[in-house]
Each structure stands twice: as C-alpha cells, then as structure tokens.
Amino acid sequence: MPRAALALLCACTCQAWLRPTPTMRRPLTRTVDVARRAQPNADADASAPMSDGRRTALLASLVAVYTSNQWCRSLLFSTVDFGSDDGVRFVNAALGLSRSDYAILGTLAFNVLFGGCSLAAGAVVDRADAAKLTWLSCGVWSLATVASGSCESFAQLALCRAAQGVAMAATAPAGYALIGRAFPPDKLATATSRYAAAVSVGGALASASVLLDDALGWRRTFEVVGAAGLAVAAAAAVALPGERVGTSAATGSTAAGGGGFGDLLASPATLLLLAATAARFCAGFTIAVWALPCLRSAFPARAADLGLGYAFVVGGAGFASALLGGAAADALAARAPPGREKAARALVPVVGSLLAAPLWVAALLRAPTFEWAVGLLALEFLAAECWIGPTTALIQAEVAPRSRGLAQGTFTSLTLLGSLAPLAAGKALDADATLDAGVLVSAVVAGAYVVSALLFLGAAAALDTEPKTALGAGFGTDVRKAKKGGKKSRSSAAGLTTDNGWVPLVELECSLEAGEARAVGRSITGKPYLVRRKQDGDVVATSCECGRCEYPLTKSETQVVDGVEQVLCEMCGAAYSLDDGAGVASEAKGNPLFGALLRNKPDKPLSVYPTKELDGGAVYVNITPKSRKAAAIDAM
C-alpha cells in the first residue's frame, strides 16, 4: 500500500471529526428565550427523549462499532508467531519483524496518534455530532485494516496502524457521550459496562481469527476483518440517530462557560481514578501483546487449540466480568450509606485487580497443562475486567458536565502510557536472550494490577463523603459544595433540624450549574427530588416527573417568560413555573410522535419543596408542612 494513500487516510480521519461544523461555531446556551417559543419544533428531532427501545437500539449499534474497533485493533496479535517462519500465516515472518518491531506495532505505532487524538476528540465531542463521528471513524479504521493486508514492510504496516489509531480515537469519547445523554444516572454504570463489554467481544473475535489465519493467511484475514468493519459502519450510519449539535451540547454545557483541565485537576478522586486507569492499561496492553506469544511458547503442542481457548477466555469471561462489574457497582451503591455511593462503586475494581494478579501469575507460570492455563486465565479475566464500567461512570459523575468529553478523552489517551509497558518488555527480551518471557510478562502484569488496586482504593477514600456531623435525628451535614452564586444571601444551619422538617440532600455531591437539574434523595412518595439551579442562581426542588405525562424532567430545558422561569416537558410540551409548580400556557408541542396524544391528559402542578442553600454549599429540603401537602398531589 503506497505511503501516500495511508497518509491520506490519516488526514481524512483528522479532518472528518476535528473540523468544526457551522453549528459548533455558534455559542451554546441553556436558556430558551421567547423567540424559541415561537418555533417549538425547531429542535424536535434533537430534543425528543428516547424510549427504552431506542436506547437499546442505540446501545446495540455502539456495541457493534466498538466490537469492530477492538477486533481490528487486536487482529495483529493473532497473526504473529516468533517460533515459525511461515510467511503466509504470520506477519512477522513475512515482513521480517523482530520482537521489538512487533512491540512497536502493537503499542507506539498505534498509540502515539491514538492518545493525542483522543484528547482532541474528548475536547470537541460535546460540541460535535457524536453519532456521525462514530460511524465515520469506523469506516476509516476498517479501510486501514483492509490496507494492512497489502503491506510489504514494517514502515507501511506502521502507517496503517497509525491510521487506525487516528480513526479509533473518537470511538470511546463519542460512544460514552451518546450513552451519557441517553441513560439516566442510576443506570449509567450498567449501560457503560455493557458498552465496555464490547472490548472483550472484539478481543475474542481477534483471538478466534487464528482460524481465519490458518485457512486464508494473514493478508486475507486483514481484508476480511476490515470488510466486516465497513459493513458495521454502514449499518451504524443508518441506525444511530443524528444529533443537532447545539441541543446535545447544551445538556453538558452552560452559558457560564468554564471547564477544561482545571475541572479535572481540581478533583483528587478524578486524578486517582485516571492514575489507576493508566496502571490498568499497562496490565491490559501487556496481556494483549504478549499473552498469545507466551502461551504458544509454553504449550507448543497445543498451538492449534490456542486461538479458540483464548477466544473463550476473552469473549466469555471478559464479557461476563464487564457486565457483572457494572451491575455490582450499581448494586453496592444502592446499599451504601448516604455519601458513600461513589466509594462503594470504586471498590469493585479494587477487589478485581487484587484477585487478578495471582491468577495471572498462576496461569502463565504454574499451570501444569493447557486446560489448567485456560481455566486460570478465565478466572483471571472474570476478576480483572470488571473495572472499566464503574471507572468511566465514576469519572463522568465526578467532573462537571461541561468537562465530561475532555475527561473521557483523557481517559482514552492514557492508553499511550499503558503501551509503554509491553514495549519495555519487548526491548528487554531483545536485549537479553536469557530472559524468560513468561516470567517477565507475569511480573509486569501482576505489578500493574497491584498498583492499580492501591490507586483505586485511594480514589474510594477520596470519594467517601459520609456525613461526619449529626444534625437532628441522625442526618449529616457534611455535604460537598454546590455552585455558589445567585441573588439571595445564604443562611446558616441554625433551625434546619429534622423536627422542623428539614433534611440535607447528602447525595448532592457535585456543583450545580445554572439551568442544570439533578435527581437526588427520596421524597415522601419514594421518588427523588429534582434539584435545579435557576438562571438567577437560586436552587429549587420539585417533583421529578411531568404533571401531565409523568415523563422525567431531568434533562428538560428551561425558558424565562415575563421574569418567571419555566421548565418544558420534552415529551408532551407541558410547561410549569419553577416558582410554584403551576402549569402555564405553552406553544411547545413536545415529541413529534407522542406530543399530540398526550396533550389532552389531565395536567397536575409540580410539587415544589422549600429549599435552603447554606454558605458552605449544602442544600436542605423541607418536607413539612407545605411540602407534605404538595407531596399529596404527587400521590394522586
């Protein structure tokens, strides 16, 4: 493949998702003015809420794309055998690659551009059409995979790997952004874990590709896998809903601006989570690059069975671990005391990493037979791969909405650091022929697991915000700060006792920006309070569902009319005053499909609960006596 064509692939990929669209050049705002009310359907397609069926279809499309991503990315590792000179089946024999060359192709050739472009993708993904980025990137890396089958030298294959790295950089930030916009917070860890499970599925397909390699040779194998990726890209282009950039971005941005690396550096928990991620990437990339070569050396007589055995490990145990990790994190958070929900989620990767370290060493160094090695590896993957879903969900929850794309891009770019571990192992093996590859790789992986566990444990301690001071009937007052501002002066905690009906919203752990809403706590009816910061800076707590159609108002937009801020239901178009919860006249039509059907339903006012925000940022809500009357309306 000519180098000019490969360079063109890189250039097209960068231009496709880094060039700003006309909508991206416009300023963003959460406020909906009177002029917009005159055109209620202007953003109907973008603001229409997703049904459970549409969420499932979106997640399935993203999983298919991410599976292709990992299949194409890891395919190289299944076409290498340094114990054979068969140039038809093995790329290292055909191109004369050393172990160092192979390590560079598996790490730096891919990760240098991948890491840098991931940061750029994270910075722009909240202001771009994430759906378009997803399928377009899939098409480009699939073309680069097809081109890999025509390479005749190390340099040409390195250019193909670089093109893959550029294209694949947008996948995770765009995918997690789409999931974050589609799924509510209480289901986010489970959804992200299902998305992350595609890593295991793609890795399993790459491992099973040794069968394709045996039947077709390595060149045809790259072409077949790349063609499958092109088919996935075409399907995703049809299945993924397009986004109106201004609307989607508004959910994570505010007129207040800000964001950037300052938000990431301001949170010790986020820094510890990112450091733990880097350590986990060191372990993961070392396994991806060196597991199959080490197993081939340890069990040369079973080389024919290795592909299916390792595919079972990665696809079965790894997939199950990713799913169970998210479910376990959400279950632990639901049972944790107030203020300790995030810390409980962070314990999942702590336990998984500590269990995985000895299992990996036993599988690679102590397994007496091939069957024992596969069994131990299955247990190792079952313990280890639980980390990614809870970690990404914690990072997204810890940073401000305006910085989530950048946070995910930073998370993905850490693969560059992770790639240094297998590269160093390859250099060491080339420099000293007496080194045992199995021993060296085991030490690197186990050490990375232990370091990541300690960092995850530190993150759990930083995320532990259990109330430290009692107030009234055992309620705590140590609540993390909400955003200061607004017209009214703050008050102290004097008189805010449970006897007077005041309870602290201890789950409100992140700052609220103007126009942002968050469902926290539990009202008398058992449903969360919807706490929202108004445009004037005041905090208001209301019932969380529309009084007409009962659709959640968490992501609904607000508008200011005649000095009164209103919230608009994006499903039925109903509007309510945030001062008293009363319904107000609205020209909005809501969802194009369901708005007309729901417009004639009886309309109940929202429940509005008295709130007080203290100088330290803690927010209290009063459940009596006015709120109890309001809550009675909820129960009607």
The confidence score (pLDDT) of residue 235 equals: 94
pLDDT at 445: 97
On whether both 228 and 291 belong to a single domain, the answer is no
What's the whole-number average pLDDT of the chain? 78
pLDDT at 261: 66
The helix or strand, by DSSP H or E, that contains position 517, with its residue range, turns out to be strand 517-520
Q: Domain for residue 105, yes or no? A: yes
Q: Average pLDDT for residues 246-253, to the nearest whole number?
A: 40
Are both 92 and 187 inside the same structural domain? yes
Give the structural domain span for 162: 52-242
DSSP secondary structure, 214-262, as one string: HHH-HHHHHHHHHHHHHHHHHHHHHHSPP--HHHHHHTT--TT---SHH
In a domain, 224, yes or no: yes
pLDDT higher than 80, residue 269: yes
- Model pLDDT, residue 586: 80
Q: Decide if 529 is inside a domain.
A: yes
Preceding amide of 173 cis, omega within 30: no
Percentage of the residues of the chain whose pLDDT score is greater than 70: 75
Q: What pLDDT does 357 receive?
A: 97
Question: Are both 448 and 356 inside the same structural domain?
Answer: yes
Give residue 218's pLDDT.
95
Alpha-carbon gap, residue 20 to 23, rounded angstroms:
8
Q: Which range is least confidently modeled, 191-195, 286-290, 515-519?
A: 515-519
358-417 pLDDT per residue, tens = 999 999 999 999 999 999 999 999 999 999 889 988 887 787 666 777 787 888 888 888
**What was the pLDDT predicted at 248?**
41
Q: What is the predicted pLDDT for the residue at 598?
A: 74
* Residue 589 within a domain: yes
Using CA of residue 564, residue 569, residue 574, residue 578, what is the dihedral sign? negative
Q: Classify residue 6: in a domain, yes or no.
A: no
Domain boundary among 207, 242, 277: 242
Q: Does the pLDDT of residue 274 top 90, yes or no?
A: yes
572-585 confidence digits (pLDDT tens) = 888 988 888 888 88
What is the tens place of the pLDDT at every residue in 13-24? 444 433 444 333
Residue 586 lies in a domain: yes
Q: What is the CATH number of the domain that holds 615?
A: 2.102.10.10
| 3-state secondary structure (DSSP) of residue 296 | helix
User: Which of 154-168, 202-216, 482-496, 519-533 holds the top average pLDDT?
Assistant: 154-168
Same structural domain, 617 and 531: yes
Domain total in the chain: 3
Identify the residue whose tokens are 């905090």. 539
* Buried/exposed 374-384: b ≥16 CB within 10 Å, e otherwise: bbbbbbbbbbb
Q: Considering the domain boundaries, does residue 11 fall inside one?
A: no
Burial of 468 (C-beta count, 10 Å sphere; 0-12/13-18/19+): exposed
pLDDT in tens, 144-176: 999 999 999 999 999 999 999 999 988 888 888
The per-residue pLDDT for range 525-548, each reduced to its tens digit, is 667 778 888 877 788 888 888 888
Distances (CA, A) of 135 to 74, 130, 140, 233: 19, 9, 9, 5
| pTM assigned to the model | 0.58
Please tell me the predicted confidence (pLDDT) of residue 616: 63
Kindly report the CATH number assigned to the domain that includes residue 411. Answer: 1.20.1250.20
Which DSSP symbol is given to 633?
A: H
Q: Check residue 491 and give its pLDDT.
A: 52
For residue 208, pLDDT over 50 is answered with yes
Q: Are strands 608-609 and 539-543 parallel, antiparallel or unpaired?
A: antiparallel
